[in-house]
Structure 1
Amino acid sequence: MSKPLDRLTLLESFVRISDRGSISAAARDLGLSQASASRQLKELETRLGTQLIRRTTHSLALTQSGQALLRDARELLAGWENLQERHSEGDQAVRGPLKVVAPVALGQLQLADIALDFQLRYPQISLTWELEDQPIRFAEVGCDCWIKVGPVPDDTLIVRELGRVERMLVASPGLVGARSFAKPDEVAGLPFAALTAFEGARIPLTSSRGRRHELKPRVAIATNNIFALQRAALKGVGVAVLPRWFVQKDLDEGRLLDLLPKWRAARLTINAAFLPARRQPQRLSLFLAALARGVESIPGIE
């Protein structure tokens, strides 16, 4: 009879092949030859009496049985890691893989340093830091934590709010000249650049006194990328709704203007989502705590 560790090894290989979508890539990660990784997959399929992965010339795809096993395999491996943590001492207990998916701009410009400092603090952690603005399928991606700006469209996950993003109407001096604006109606005739993930041709605003107004501007350009939106605002293509943390330097140096200082666009929530579990792996709990502390220090995020 095979030892339990052998079974865990087979499951670990299967999960890595599923995550990487390639036997050769998984083999490199695991320090195996491609032939060894293939044999482990075949042995697991033989033991379970079912095909887990369909192989084609150019790709791999999980069968229905493979998709079901992937969820169970992750839980079993997480349980083994929790057991190791409970019976280890000090920082040596904080080890293993940690995969985080974060939004592109926030993850690149603000959150990356939090993640890197965390990895330096716990060098036994193998960190994967992926940037993605589009919704993900959590189980298929195989991540431990999904940082999402806006609502998390997956009610199977635990969602923890990290902060709320202050957003404002900004424009270049070249677009508005020496004009100043006090009311939303006064900017309605200007061209706008819209971030399609959050605003289109309707922009709800709230004043510092709690009054509400909905702008319906002419959209000169729409994009799903915040860097392109910033460029459009800087070049004077249109007014844009952008988060303070992203444009604070442009505001300080006069490249962009806070068009309506007493009005703000709807705040967006920054959320951290993760799978429910009887006991979270220590590395995930520690990362979530470090993330919460780091977000607190970002200007323009409450």
Structure 2
Amino acid sequence: MTIWDGINEFICVVETESFTAAAKRLDVSVAHISRHVNQLEDRLGAKLLYRTTRKLRLTEVGEVYYQHARKVLNELQEADRAVMEMEGKPTGKLRITAPVYYGEYFLAPLVNDFLLQYPQLDLELKLTNETIDLVEEGYDLAIRLGTLDSSSLMCRKLARRTQYLCASPAYLAAKGTPHTLTDLANHRCLGGSIDHWRFLENGKLRNWRIGSAWSCNSGLALKDAALKGLGIVQLPDYYVQEELKQGLLVSLLEEYRLPDDGIWVVYPHNRHLSPKVKLLVDFLVKKLGARA
């Protein structure tokens, strides 16, 4: 018996919760499934499954073995796909995550264009402002905004991002225009998902804590409030650049603005040789890289 014998049968039994269903999925006999699972348990010297006439469940050892075996099988399947893709067109599913607004307005249209070129690919796109563990959750890549935390992920820069402090002309006419950071204490500051704004003062990073009079974790809601004269907002360029051009919003305290940060595509090391991931990353860099 080799080290691989019985693993696929065991995983299939766990995931179908039945020896009969596993046999049907793998197109073999129930006796074949039972024999290989028994041989696997004998080789390991451990009981992996509790079997009754009504139900199967994993032992504690079986749960640990299943989690490791599933990861190994995933890697083997990814290796098979990589080789097949190198010989032809990319296939399989692309699992991507991105922040909600940026994903809706910028990433999704580009990914849809990419899929028109490679119709054999399937897509799972999860838009969330939460940071997902790509390795643990099995995602191929993610879009991350701002300064990257140090991690084992590989990354490529797609574009630059400028943070603007701005308000509507009506608000400034009523409340006056701030000229220093200290002046912000006399203004209504519209807060987002964090409780401070970031500035550069005398060459040093300065965090300005925002009051709690108005806050929302939606950039679109923040922009709407600023346009309606409710206060001052700090938002990335892709939210407000058109409104700034049209004079609907006015840029403030530009001398305190931080240097541009980045918009990044990140992906696990085990994905960087996958042709489908490489093709998509190159495609995004080409389309968004003009401002990198």
TM, length-normalised to structure 2: 0.73
List 4+ stretches of structure 1 deviating above 4 A.
Answer: 6-11, 35-45, 151-154, 209-214
> Which string of whole-angstrom CA distances, capped at 9 and with x for unpartnered residues, describes residues 37-68 of structure 1?
796499599475535xxxx9xxxxx9433332
Offset of 1:105 from its aligned partner? 0.8
Offset of 1:239 from its aligned partner? 1.3
Q: How many residues align?
A: 263
Q: Which sits farther off after the overlay, 36-45 or 183-192? A: 36-45
- Residue matched to 1:26: none
Unpaired stretches in structure 1, ≥5 consecutive residues: 18-22, 24-34, 57-61
CA distance in structure 2 between the aligned counterparts of 1:122 and 1:272, rounded to whole angstroms:
20
Q: What is the aligned counterpart of 1:94 among 90, 100, 109?
A: 90
Offset of 1:263 from its aligned partner? 3.2
Residue identity opposite 1:200 in structure 2: D
1:171–1:240 Cα contact (<8 Å) kept: yes
2:85–2:276 Cα contact (<8 Å) kept: no
Q: What is the aligned counterpart of 2:230 among 237, 245, 249?
A: 237
Q: What is the aligned counterpart of 1:205 among 191, 199, 204?
A: 199
- Residue matched to 2:59: none
- Residue matched to 1:132: 128
Q: What is the aligned counterpart of 2:102 among 97, 100, 106?
A: 106
Change (3 A) 1:7 1:121: farther
Change (3 A) 1:220 1:98: same
Change (3 A) 1:8 1:109: farther
Q: Which sits farther off after the overlay, 67-76 or 126-135? A: 67-76
Change (3 A) 1:252 1:151: closer
Alignment of 1:142-291 (within 5 A): 142-150=138-146, 155-177=151-173, 179-196=176-193, 199-201=194-196, 203-206=197-200, 210=203, 213-265=206-258, 267-277=260-270, 280-291=273-284
CA distance in structure 2 between the aligned counterparts of 1:234 and 1:161, rounded to whole angstroms:
31
Q: Which sits farther off after the overlay, 114-123 or 220-229? A: 220-229
Change (3 A) 1:263 1:67: same
Change (3 A) 1:161 1:222: same
Offset of 1:191 from its aligned partner? 1.3
1:95–1:125 Cα contact (<8 Å) kept: yes
Unpaired stretches in structure 2, ≥5 consecutive residues: 42-47, 50-54, 56-61
CA distance in structure 2 between the aligned counterparts of 1:161 and 1:175, rounded to whole angstroms:
36
CA distance in structure 1 between the aligned counterparts of 2:119 and 2:234, rounded to whole angstroms:
39
1:191–1:238 Cα contact (<8 Å) kept: yes
TM, length-normalised to structure 1: 0.71
> Which string of whole-angstrom CA distances, capped at 9 and with x for unpartnered residues, describes residues 153-195 of structure 1?
6834223333331101011223222744443333332111222
- Residue matched to 1:83: 83
Offset of 1:36 from its aligned partner? 4.9
- Residue matched to 2:67: 67
